Structure 1
């Protein structure tokens, strides 16, 4: 179970363009895959199709658009992550399996401590 909200992306149907609501606004996201380089790109536009960023290459654990200064971008960071910490990079084999594009905020309905197994050997109860 994920502790963050993620953006569902169908890697079998790329390129994919869809509306996505975040921070009280609707954006258009376009996800594409570069087969030669085995990497994904993303673009973001206002709901009026005013493209803010096109073809931004996604990197694991790095916020999208991190160096772009534009007030039209959402304040909430969008970050490709593997919450299981298995992946070293984003690829066609792991995107949508263990790697997802997340809103980098914790889901307020989930206590992350409840998801973490507790090893009694580390609790000093011997």
Structure 2
């Protein structure tokens, strides 16, 4: 388990991250009218996911990279990415709490399979 730093002051924010021995590009955008974030995922300038809404405690892209039988899409990484907060009173991600109280965590496949996806 580890954390991925997000600089919310740079949003729309684009950064590269190595996962599963591949370089992925993430683009985080903010909808200031409704106070929510979306994320795009690219590999080699190929869009894998566009404008997925970021939801607290939900694994990013899970429905797209793993089918109901557990088969993985080879374009995606095997790690789990989840925005979480240690503050139990927070139930959504906002511009105010992102990166201060809500952080992006990543978990390895081994941590996922052993049930070790806890903060």
Q: For the superposition of Structure 1 and Structure 2, which TM-score range results when normalised by the shorter chain? A: 0.7 to 0.9
Q: What is the match of residue 9 of structure 2?
A: 12
2:102 maps to 1:99:
yes
The range that moved more, 34-43 or 67-76, is 67-76
Q: Matched residues in 2 for 1:43 and 1:85: separation? A: 27
Deviations 1:2-30 (A, max 9, x none): xx311111111110111111122110000
Q: Is the 8 A contact 1:86 1:98 kept in 2?
A: no
- Structure 1: state its 5+ residue gaps: 107-114, 116-126
Alpha-carbon distance in structure 2 between the residues aligned to 1:93 and 1:34: 13
SS at 1:92's partner residue?
coil
Unaligned runs of 5+ in 2: 66-72, 112-118
- Report the Cα offset of residue 101 of structure 1: 1.1
Q: Considering only aligned residues, what root-mean-square deviation do their CA atoms show, in Å?
A: 1.7
User: In the alignment, which residue of structure 2 is the partner of 1:38?
Assistant: 35
Deviation of residue 85 (structure 1)? 2.9
Q: Does 1:51 align with 2:47?
A: yes
Q: How far off its partner does 1:84 sit?
A: 3.8
Distance 2:96 2:31 in 1: 13
TM-score (norm 2): 0.79
- Give the TM-score normalised by the residue count of structure 1: 0.75
Q: CA deviation at 1:79?
A: 0.5
